[in-house]
Amino acid sequence: MLYQMNGPFPASDVLSIEERTRPGHPSFANLRATRLEKWKRRPDLSGPGIYGLFCKGILYYVGIYTGSKKTTFTGSALDRWDMHLTFFSLRSSEVSFVARSMQKILKLDGAPADEYASLLGGRHLSLDEISASPSPFIVPKHASCTYSKALFATRNWDVFAPGNERSMMDDVSFMYARILPEADTLLTGADAYARYWWAKYEWIQARETRLVKALQPICNSATRKFRTDVTMEDFRAAVELEMSSPLAPFDADRMMSKLRRSVRPTSDIRAAA
């Protein structure tokens, strides 16, 4: 098999947190996560792969890291995890929502919804009223967070609430199924863009989609009915099943055919040619 499962890594082993606030945001949205120096160039987390995020040992998100766009088997999955830690917990001052998500959040019980309601002026607000709010955490599109992630944070506020940072760092953990550099031989004939595209769309994205469908983590947007029973061993077994099928070798004709059928800009197609 051309992959290696690494972890679990408690957040406290790979990340540190520091205070960062912004005017107009909830008082609990006051953290920024950064990677620990010793992990910045560790090969355990480099290159393309699939990762799972866990809270108290239960899966809450499946994601992919595609490696560096210039060099496929470099980079670090920590590029994603540092944001996930504070965004999915609502502790980042960069968390934002579209009005429809916030309208659902305001119907939740718990401290996060209480403070959002206080800042917005009530719980029973129309979409127009929320959209018209000057609050910096309400945006018209391209929000950094979703209702599902707010629901997850609210359900686990005993871990994420201010004052419980030690629990957050100890109870959140990560696992990474990393595609090994030996797979580079399968990318013969591909330039930098094509290597990135192939690793993302042919090697890991479809596997991620199937994992989300099977495991239904609460924070994935494709999840319809989330599960709260998927353990680290369940994730490990599901990834092993997905990775048991061989990685496809690079095929320029196949890639170009897919690019032509997609909505990608023609400049991308020319760059891949």
Entry pTM: 0.92
The beta strand positions in the chain, using DSSP E, are: 3-10, 15-19, 31-35, 49-55, 58-65, 172-179
CA 201 from centre of chain: 17
The predicted-structure confidence for 165-186, as pLDDT tens digits, reads as follows 999 999 999 999 999 999 999 9
The model's confidence at residue 1, banded by pLDDT at 50, 70 and 90, is: low
Q: What is the mean pLDDT of residues 233-248?
A: 96
Mean pLDDT for all residues in the chain = 93
Token digits of residue 13: 């082993």
Find out whether 88 and 61 touch, Cβ atoms under 8 Å.
Answer: yes
Q: What is the mean pLDDT of residues 54-83?
A: 92
The predicted-structure confidence for 97-124, as pLDDT tens digits, reads as follows 999 999 999 999 999 999 999 999 999 9
The model's confidence at residue 270, banded by pLDDT at 50, 70 and 90, is: very low
| Per-residue confidence (pLDDT) for residue 262, from 0 to 100 | 78
